[in-house]
Amino acid sequence: MPDRGRRRGRSARRRPGRGGPPGDAARRDRRAGAADPPRGRLRRPRRHLRAAPGRRAGARRGRGRPGRQPGDAPRRQHGGAHRRRGPGAGHPAGRRAARRRRRPVGPVDALRPVPRPGHDDRSGALRGARVVVTRSAGRARELVALLRADGVRVRLAPLLEPTLPEDTAALSALLDRAAAPGPARRTWLAVTSVNTVRALQAVAGAPGPSQLGARLAAARSAGLRVAAVGDATAAALADAGLAPDLVPGTAHSAAGLLADWPAEPAPGTVLLPLSARARPTLEAGLTAKGYRVLTATAYDTVPWPAPEPLVPETAPDAGAVPTLDRAGLLAALAAGEADAVVLTAPSHLAELVGEDPAVLAGTALVAIGEPTRQAAADRGLTALAAARPTPEAVRAALARALTGPAGPRRPEPTTPTTSPTEETTPVTHRTPRYDLVSRPRRLRTTPAVRRLAAQTRVHPSDLILPVFVREGLTEPAPLGSMPGVVQHSMDSLRRAAAEVAAKGLGGIMLFGVPAQRDALGSAGCDPEGVLNRALRAVRAEVGDDTVVMADLCLDEFTDHGHCGVLAEDGTVDNDATLEVYGRMAVAQAEAGAHVLGPSGMMDGQVGVIRAALDEAGRPDVAVLAYSAKYSSAFYGPFREAVDSQLQGDRRTYQMDPANRREALHELQLDLDEGADMVMVKPAMSYLDILRDVAEVSPVPVSAYQISGEYAMIEAAAANGWIDRRAAVQESVLSIRRAGADSVLTYFAVELADWFREENGLS
């Protein structure tokens, strides 16, 4: 039998502060003696996946226990009979009044219908209700039977249907790896849905309902362990002859599985077949726990009906349930022919509403699972989450969504007149009154209140100013593509650095533009090169009053414009470049840089630089690793700023914009090599990457609002299309909100001035 949150007698780890009454989880942790999970260790560089366009395309593939959920049964606080004092304490009406005086528990209960006097009867709540379930007939059979027994008029709208990917080679290889007895002792197979089980069965290769269990029998005997995300998945695995070892106790989701995942002293490998639309929650969480996670696409979902579904539907019988496609469901919603919709997955919700969540306005919504409820909330929709993904729990949630103390929420048509010539009385709608206990607008009433309640702030010390210094200039040279930004002379650079220190900015990042270039970027290592002379000048000007940073890359210094040394075939030679980076790092450290920013995206660059600095007696110099630097179209103005000689692109070493999980791989590699801080670049177009990195990084995270992002705001403001100041502030605030501890931005000085003005510090 699956172990509910326990495995082999050890308590499942539950983190405090993730839900439930404050302190409960912490007390459970102390009783269980739970330990923090090990940090992830991802190895093997992946730059070979960026070697050629064909291989890049092949590389693209498509926290825990919750507190009380809306719909949960009321808790007894003291284990015995409820004890209340005051008038009417022993009478049902008094008990109801006491319940109404309590503050709502969950987010859905913030809008609680005001009960009608003397009415508290929910019997027959579902009879006659018109309910649409976004699931296929095969998957919804038990729920349909239960609802029909209550008199519900049920229709189905599958919306999406699973199908095997065009190429199942990766899934077959993952299954072969799971079936191998050798490495099975330290291997998990994590299964996240019933459809994943079906996909594994489809590629298992042997007939019969238990072919999957038979295929993995030897590996199971050798120690392969299986985890299921919830009860339905566990039942499907058991039917396939593969009873799981771990099923989360309460939250049937990726987060719930992570919360109950057992702590292991030596994490091994997790094999993770996924939907093509799966979010990276489970993979990132397991990686952070120290596991090596191998993924493969198990199935994709396409609009229903699919030409080749993963599980073909059987022929309908006499009691078949009416089934709608998306257009039919939208028409039913528009005509008011659905009182409630059961949302079975975030993907089904996205397929239904598209870009217009208003199609579900006024319809009672029940979500199966917390991720689905959260997906609805993200679209501004209120859905009631079923306590568990079972037909009984869904029925209970529907009863609560469709009725309450105020009676049915669906329209109640009047009886038509007996005269055939008279018009039928139109459908009347009850407009319920709501007791608005929670009013978020209270915290938006004045600027002072909004400042007090702000959850994210931008302080000057969070900002780093990138600057360019060009050899041979006597006066600053403006950049046409970046209004307000210049190439500095040595004198103007000193003044800019002094201003950075005076305004309390977090730091200044220097980029050098030499007068002479060669194939090896020799000026970057020359102590008398423009960048190293600039570093000495800035340190002499500001000392330690601000953090002086240096860009460590060869692209400004090479005559071909690439970030490394070229091999004979014209490609960038990774290892030859690393040797140059080591010498360049020592030269910049000796010139006075506090922090070095290696931005070339060479495999192993952080480790080589750290070793070179330590060997040169400079362990005090920190490394800000450009861990997730993407090959972006928004670098254009920067190349004017450094007078880049680049012909072609840098896609063989900078990251593919299509790849999200790879960023966490690069992050872990840089951490293992000794990075003191990490960076995501660009920032605004990659806020999802920034969020992923910030959630797992143990070191400070920076993000670079790059030249193209700066130029777009300037261009739009110059045309009068946006409010420049508001757009600048919002853009940098969004980067901070996504998780950046510091932001490199060309707006840094202005933002510091505005901060002082808005806070009365001018």
For residue 137, the domain's CATH number is 3.40.50.10090
pLDDT of residue 696: 93
Residue with tokens 């568990």: 388
Same domain, 216 and 360: no
Last residue of a domain, one of 371, 395, 410: 410
Say if residue 589 is in the same domain as residue 464: yes
For residue 416, tell me if it sits in a domain: no
Same-domain check for residues 482 and 587: yes
- Note whether residue 616 is domain-resident: yes
Residue 273 lies in a domain: yes
CB-based contact 192:274 (threshold 8 Å): yes
At residue 435, the pLDDT reads 61
Judge whether 55 lies within some domain: no
What's at 324, amino acid-wise? L
Residue 350, C-beta contacts closer than 8 angstroms, at least 6 positions apart: 375
**Strand 269-275 vs strand 292-303: parallel, antiparallel, or unpaired?**
parallel
Alpha-carbon separation of residue 351 from 158, 362, 412 (angstroms): 10, 19, 30
* DSSP category for residue 633: G
Q: Are residues 334 and 294 in the same domain?
A: no
Are the C-beta atoms of 357 and 200 separated by less than 8 Å?
no
Ranges of H-type helices in 518-573? 530-542
What are the tokens at 100?
């109404």
Last residue of a domain, one of 303, 326, 357: 303
Is the Cβ–Cβ distance between 660 and 280 less than 8 Å? yes
Same domain, 742 and 726: yes
Angle between helices 530-542 and 490-502 (to 10 degrees): 40
For residues 457 and 736, the answer to whether their CB atoms sit within 8 Å is yes
The count of other CB atoms within 10 Å of the CB of residue 201 is 24
> How many Cβ atoms sit within 10 Å of the Cβ of residue 253?
23
Residue 140: the pLDDT is: 85
- Give the tokens for residue 278: 């799966």
| Residue 94 covered by a domain | no
The predicted model scores a pTM of 0.49
Last residue of one domain, picked from the residues 374, 393, 410 = 410
Tokens standing for residue 43: 């190895």
- Out of 112, 388, 517, 629, pick the active-site residue: 629
- Residue 450 belongs to some domain of the structure: no
Q: In terms of domains, do 152 and 279 share one?
A: no
DSSP strand pairing (742-744 vs 463-470) = parallel
Nearest to 618 by CA among 664, 586, 573, 581: 586
> Cα torsion at 661, 281, 35, 250 (round to 10°)?
-160
Residues 555 and 660 both lie in one domain? yes
Give the CATH number for residue 738.
3.20.20.70
Active site residue 503: no
Query: Based on the domain organization, do 713 and 623 belong to the same domain?
Result: yes
pLDDT at 80: 40
Q: Do residues 367 and 475 share a domain?
A: no
H runs (alpha helix) in 43-101: 53-59, 92-101
Same domain assignment for residues 257 and 286: yes
Residue 189 structural domain: 3-25+35-39+164-303
Q: What pLDDT is stored for residue 534 in this prediction?
A: 96
Helix, strand, coil share of the chain (percent; to 5): 40, 15, 45
Q: Kindly report the number of other CB atoms within 10 A of residue 214's CB atom.
A: 15
Rounded-to-integer distance, Cα 309 and Cα 302, Å: 9
Q: How does DSSP assign 133-182, residue by residue?
A: E-S-TTTTHHHHHHHHHTT-EEEE---EEEE--S--HHHHHHHHHHH-SG
Residue 735 and residue 748 in contact, taking contact as beta carbons nearer than 8 Å: no
Question: Phi and psi for 510 in degrees, rounded to 5?
Answer: -100, 135
Report d(CA 341, CA 346) in Å as an integer. 13
Residue 762: predicted pLDDT: 64
pLDDT at 760: 83
Same domain, 719 and 575: yes
In angstroms, the CA 753 to CA 736 distance is 18
User: Given its phi and psi angles, is residue 568 left (phi above 0), alpha (psi -120 to 50 degrees) or beta?
Assistant: alpha
Q: How many CB atoms lie within 10 A of CB 752?
A: 25
Q: How many domains does the chain have?
A: 3
Residue 314 is predicted with a pLDDT of 57
Q: Is 50 part of a structural domain of the chain?
A: no
Active-site residue (options: 533, 660, 681, 736): 681
- In the predicted model, residues of the chain with pLDDT beneath 70 are 1-124, 184, 206-210, 312-319, 404-435, 762
Specify if 96 maps to a domain.
no
Hey, which bits of 27-105 come out as E strands? none
The reply to whether 288 and 245 lie within a common domain is yes
Say if residues 423 and 468 touch (Cβ distance below 8 Å).
no
Q: How far is CA 417 from the centre of its chain?
A: 56
Omega of the bond leading into 305 within 30 degrees of 0 (cis): yes
